Amino acid sequence: MIIDPLKDLPTLADIEDAAERIKGVTFHTPLLRSDALDAVVGAPVWIKPEMLQRTGSFKMRGAWNRVSRIPEADRAKGVVAFSSGNHAQGVAESARLLGMKSTIVMPADAPAAKIESTKRRGATVRLYDRIKESREAIAAEIAAESGATTVRPFDDAWIMAGQGTAGLEAARDAAAMDVRFGSLICNASGGGLLAGFAVAFEALSPATEVYVSEPEGHDDLIRSLASMKIVSNAPGTRSIADALMSPEPGVLPFEIHKRRVKGGFTASNDQLLDAMSFAFHHLKLVAEPGGANSLAVLLNNRKHFAERGPILIVLSGGNVDADMFSKAIARTPPV
């Protein structure tokens, strides 16, 4: 089926198509278990560890599904994207593999690890001031000048379908083990990953309740769902979850969120650091602040989720600087 990715919503068929396309380029991440996590939560928990994905986050899935569809004739003009750092790496890596130029507009205060990794993958990085400048405007200008294809972070059906391959893998792997999730918790910024999971689970595990996890002060999606229309975060609100600072849900993802997301919870900076410490001490996984949001939400709302039976949490990324990580793991993990 030919879809218009800037207008249409992805279906399960689009996710299955994306799964074929990304095979051999991205990794099929496993579902992991932890007896320590099961014990503190009081229900069996399954972890989808997207920090183990190529580029250290799920973003490679959507980026490859989008960038690899750019027609041959347009490839010489390159791609442009804006991102706090994970989409940046996914787009840069996809472009590199296709022999294309990439320009990524990144906030000057992004983690050094993300900026370095994006450059290492061959991208030209244009830093901007998160408060004073508009990343959309800068990217639009670069696109207009160069003819580069803009790769949006979430408002694109191909991007959402690509991110949804993580949900497809998790749903199929769970079915093969005869596991039925009562609930799943997924981090959201613009909400592309959450939308992808929601579409995959709507088809393959419709009884699973879908929850969103957001950083405190960036609960734009939770508030948008409450009013059934898109609302923004207060400008200038900060969180250590640098990956989850989109000002509002994406227009296309929100159409799916409205249909499928049951509710949501936020986590404070302290709760994010505690969750990172838990992941270090017990899961032996490196989670970035935003990547650990779902775990933080689970650890702080145990009863709500345990009552619903087996739980799936999506740890969306692990691109964190050593100093932030050291600060987190010095904390005693929650018991």
- Which residues bind to a second copy, rule: CB under 8 A? 27, 30, 32-35, 49, 51-52, 54-56, 93, 113, 280-286, 318, 322-323, 325-326, 329-330
146 in Cβ contact with 123 (< 8 Å)? no
Q: Is 21 left (phi over 0), alpha (psi -120 to 50) or beta?
A: alpha
Q: Pick between residue 47 and residue 195 the one whose CB is nearest to a second copy.
A: 47
Q: Pick between residue 56 and residue 85 the one whose CB is nearest to a second copy.
A: 56
187 in Cβ contact with 246 (< 8 Å)? no
CB of 334 to a second copy, least distance (A): 14
Q: Pick between residue 23 and residue 229 the one whose CB is nearest to a second copy.
A: 23
Q: Pick between residue 55 and residue 165 the one whose CB is nearest to a second copy.
A: 55
CB of 49 to a second copy, least distance (A): 8
Q: Pick between residue 12 and residue 283 the one whose CB is nearest to a second copy.
A: 283
237 in Cβ contact with 217 (< 8 Å)? yes
164 in Cβ contact with 197 (< 8 Å)? yes
CB of 69 to a second copy, least distance (A): 21
Q: Pick between residue 9 and residue 27 the one whose CB is nearest to a second copy.
A: 27
Q: Which are the contacts of 270, defined by CB distance < 8 A and separation ≥ 6?
A: none
CB of 328 to a second copy, least distance (A): 9
> Using only C-alpha atoms, what is the Rg of the chain?
18
Q: Pick between residue 119 and residue 304 the one whose CB is nearest to a second copy.
A: 119
CB of 229 to a second copy, least distance (A): 37
Interhelix angle 157-176/192-204, nearest 10 degrees: 40
Interhelix angle 59-67/157-176, nearest 10 degrees: 130
CB of 234 to a second copy, least distance (A): 32
CB of 95 to a second copy, least distance (A): 14
CB of 329 to a second copy, least distance (A): 4
| 265-304 exposure pattern, b = at least 16 Cβ within 10 A, e = fewer | bbbebebbbbbbbbbbebbebbbbbbbbbbbbbbbbbeee
CB of 188 to a second copy, least distance (A): 21
Q: Pick between residue 143 and residue 299 the one whose CB is nearest to a second copy.
A: 299
Q: How many CB atoms lie within 10 A of CB 20?
A: 10
Q: Pick between residue 35 and residue 145 the one whose CB is nearest to a second copy.
A: 35
**What φ, ψ does residue 135 adopt, rounded to 5°?**
-70, -35
Q: Which are the contacts of 300, defined by CB distance < 8 A and separation ≥ 6?
A: 265, 267, 271
187 in Cβ contact with 244 (< 8 Å)? yes
297, 247, 157, 61 alpha-carbon torsion, rounded to 10°: -60
